[in-house]
Amino acid sequence: MTQMYESLGISREVYEYSEEILSGLKNRFQKIDEIAEYNQLKVIKAMQDARVSAECFESSSGYGYNDRGRDTLEEVYAKVFRTEAALVRPQITCGTHALAIALSANLRPGDELLSISGKPYDTLEEVIGIRPSRGSLAEYGVTYAQVDLRPDGSFDLENIRRAIRPQTKLVEIQRSKGYQTRPTLSVNQIGEAVAFVKSIRSDIICMVDNCYGEFVEISEPSEFGADMVVGSLIKNPGGGLAPAGGYIAGTKECVEQCAFRLTSPGLGREVGANFGVMQSFYQGLFLAPTVTAAALKGAIFAANAYEKLGFSVVPNGTEERHDIIQAITFGFPEGVIAFCEGIQAAAPVDSYVTPEPWAMPGYDSDVIMAAGAFVQGSSIELSADGPIKPPYAVYFQGGLTWPHAKLGIMKSLQRLYEKGLVSFPS
Ligand SMILES: *Cc1c(COP(=O)(O)O)cnc(C)c1O
């Protein structure tokens, strides 16, 4: 084993440090495997109950009428998320698009959208119109209100009660911290917040941005009263195989509204060819529980390896996990750059290129990104990025297999070690 690692550029010091960290994580990894086992069974049961067959993988073109593969897949998703219905389509281009559909389909002029988990994910600012943008909900007369989480990361129930007005139509909750440093919300916490909102007005639609959270726990927010859960197929539920796509699972009413918005009034879910992606959608969902487990192990390994070296990490090494994102704060730019170089060097694709900080649209500083992915932009595959500005933090996620995630972290440690940025406690 050490020789194999050596052939990939891992020195004995990094290998031994890594093994020592990992020897303390056995119990946690076992719990992750148990969650994966439960979720794997859940997915298999859903596929069996929906009678998935080889015909479901057939390609369709044109209008896509009577697409059995597409319709059965949506049934499978509804079973997995324990909802009445689901919309799972390659025509949903990404997570932001899925969220934009869910919001614009269920809100009308004069309605108010209320976020109760603070500022939503960056890209939603333009969807909502927090930052003025063409085609935003604001342009269509949908207003927006926000209640921040309390300093300890819990829901601010008192202010939520105050913020709910007669025009409040939809409440948004973001499960993952995204690229903020607040804690990620657990499914339980989300369930309590949904119950609280419903106790004030039962007709308010509760939508959860579920990105990065799928299969991290044994249940999903839709099992605790959320009317819609929304996410991207190039994150957890696509299992690394889906080449694109998004999903919305929820009540029949909400999902129908989404279908009419996605395609056209009058057409709804009846149209939408599958272009041959069905096998990857099914097989990706089948793999998603173990792929998510691999990514989680990588995140926990990284947290513990870098915490012990003295860096601040969010979540910390021992915290319970509710999503797959790991933040590591280096405090100096060389750390961010060396980390990303290591992740890139561990990739199966494009391992020979060196990532460099660069100006990117939408960012106010240079950003460095590392990804050697089979699917472009896929962040369930091992990837890392960080803006080159204080506090010089890197955000890291994904890993289709645990050995690859492990190698990625080890290569990052190796890069920092070679540049003299860290030394290992003996
Ligand atoms: C990734 C993400 C999104 C947006 O998804 P894209 O596929 O990048 O458009 C929205 N919300 C959260 C919390 C995310 O992590």
For residue 289, give both structure tokens. Answer: 């529980």
For residue 188, give both structure tokens. Answer: 């339980």
Give the mean pLDDT of 21-50. Answer: 98
Three-point CA angle 129, 162, 193, nearest 5°: 80
3-state helix, strand, coil in the chain (%, to 5): 45, 15, 45
Q: What is the pLDDT of the chain when averaged over all its residues?
A: 96
- Ligand 1 atom closest to the Cα of residue 325 is 15
Predicted local distance difference test score (pLDDT) of residue 362: 65
Assign residue 141 a region: left if phi > 0, alpha if psi is -120 to 50, beta otherwise? Answer: left
Query: How would you label 122-140 residue by residue, b for 16+ Cβ within 10 Å and e otherwise?
Result: eebbbbbbbeeeeebbbee
For residue 172, give both structure tokens. Answer: 């948004």
- Ligand 1 atom closest to the Cα of residue 179 is 15
Asked whether 96 lines ligand 1 (CB < 6 A), one says: yes
Give the mean pLDDT of 321-328. Answer: 94
User: pLDDT at residue 2 above 70?
Assistant: yes
Percentage of the residues of the chain whose pLDDT score is greater than 90: 95
Q: Are 388 and 357 in contact (CB under 8 A)?
A: yes
Predicted local distance difference test score (pLDDT) of residue 360: 79
What's the gap in Å between 328 CA and the centre of ligand 1?
A: 20
Percentage of the residues of the chain whose pLDDT score is greater than 70: 100
pLDDT grade for 113, boundaries at 50, 70 and 90: very high
For residue 60, give both structure tokens. Answer: 């369709």
Give the mean pLDDT of 139-154. Answer: 97
Q: What is this structure's pTM?
A: 0.96
Predicted local distance difference test score (pLDDT) of residue 365: 87
239-254 per-position pLDDT tens digit = 999 999 999 999 999 9
Pairing of strands 228-232, 246-250: antiparallel
- The residue whose C-alpha atom lies closest to atom 8 belonging to ligand 1 is 95
Give the mean pLDDT of 70-99. Answer: 98
What sign does the dihedral 232-380-183-177 (CA atoms) show? Answer: negative
What are the strands of the beta sheet with 205-209, ordered from one edge?
Answer: 85-89, 246-250, 228-232, 205-209, 168-174, 112-115, 143-146
260-297 per-position pLDDT tens digit = 999 999 999 999 999 999 999 999 999 999 999 999 99
pLDDT grade for 178, boundaries at 50, 70 and 90: confident
User: pLDDT at residue 105 above 70?
Assistant: yes
Ligand 1 pocket: which of 92, 122, 123, 175 to mutate (most atoms within 8 A of CB): 123
**3-class secondary structure, 258:** helix
346-371 per-position pLDDT tens digit = 999 999 999 999 987 767 789 999 99
- Ligand 1 atom closest to the Cα of residue 232 is 7
Residue carrying structure tokens 């930052």: 131
pLDDT grade for 155, boundaries at 50, 70 and 90: very high
Exposure on the CB side of residue 351, measured as CA atoms within 13 A: 14
